[in-house]
Amino acid sequence: MQNRDEALELWRAHNDDDYLYRHALSVEAVMRYFAAKAGEDPDWWGLVGLLHDIDFQEHPEEHLKHARAILEPAGYPEAFVRAVESHGYGLCTEVEPKSYMEKILYACDELTGFIYACAIMRPSKSVLDIEVKSVTKKLKTPAFAAKIDRSVIQKGAEMLGLGMDELVGQAILALRPVAAEIGLKGNL
Ligand SMILES: [Fe+2]
Ligand SMILES: [Fe+2]
């Protein structure tokens, strides 16, 4: 198990894409937020978020088939590898999200990308003033950010027993502290 600096170094050894970097930081922030809220360990959950797509840039067609081979030698325990693999449940793995942490990761992975897409369309280009209903409305508009799979977000919310308004609202709050780092401070 690594500290955050080492984890970031591992990420950089396998990734150099700016968008993927912002995505990793976004999911990290959401994981930390929900961990803190649940009285769990934000550092542990945060690293899962940071490294969840570790093999994506090198193996986009075999996403998560190579995560274990990267994470295990770096000292990440089985529970960590399992959590990472579970975010591809039904898409590229058969590992079902079981723990609360895994369900949050599953539900928030695509959602952070969707909130990003919504935020950069705003005049402010910011997540700081975005409203829940503007995001949930666009979720119901299939043509908007069409490549983002709504069914995953919906399934994640159901796994958590959360309404979509609640999940989106919490995710927005989670992203605000890292708005500048993820390119969503905009002009505010
Ligand atoms: Fe992924
Ligand atoms: Fe992801």
User: CATH no. for residue 9?
Assistant: 1.10.3210
83 part of a folded domain? yes
User: For residues 32 and 42, is the Cβ–Cβ distance under 8 A?
Assistant: yes
Interval between CA 121 and ligand 1 midpoint (Å): 24
Which residue bears the tokens 């992975």? 109
Can you read off the two tokens belonging to residue 166? Answer: 């609640």
Q: Look at residue 96 in the predicted model and tell me its pLDDT.
A: 98
Interval 141-177: pLDDT, tens: 999 999 999 999 999 999 999 999 999 999 999 999 9
The pLDDT score that the predictor gives to residue 2 is 87
Q: Which ligand places an atom closest to the C-alpha of 85? A: 1
Tell me the CA–centroid distance for residue 72 and ligand 2, in Å.
Answer: 19
The alpha carbon of 184 and the centre of ligand 1 are apart by a number of angstroms equal to 21
Domain that holds residue 116: 4-178
Which of the ligands is closest to the CA of residue 84? 1
Could you write out the DSSP letters of every residue in the chain? ---HHHHHHHHHHH---HHHHHHHHHHHHHHHHHHHHTTS-HHHHHHHHHHTTTTTTT-GGGTTSSHHHHHTTTT--HHHHHHHHHTTBTTTB-----SHHHHHHHHHHHHHHHHHHHHHTSTT--SSS--HHHHHHHHT-TTTTTTS-HHHHHHHHHHHT--HHHHHHHHHHHHGGGTTTTT--TT-
Q: Which ligand neighbours the alpha carbon of 66 most closely?
A: 1
Residue 142 domain flag: yes
| Beta-carbon neighbours within 5 Å of ion ligand 2 | 53, 109
Residue 126 lies in a domain: yes
What is the spatial distance between Cα 66 and Cα 63, in angstroms, rounded to a whole number? Answer: 7
Number of other CB atoms surrounding residue 75 within 10 Å: 11
Give me the pLDDT at residue 102, please: 98
Q: CA–CA separation, 87 vs 95, rounded Å?
A: 8
Residue 45, domain member (yes or no):
yes
Count the domains in the chain.
Answer: 1
Domain annotation covers residue 73: yes
CA 188 to ligand 1 centroid distance, Å: 30
Residues of the chain with pLDDT under 50: none
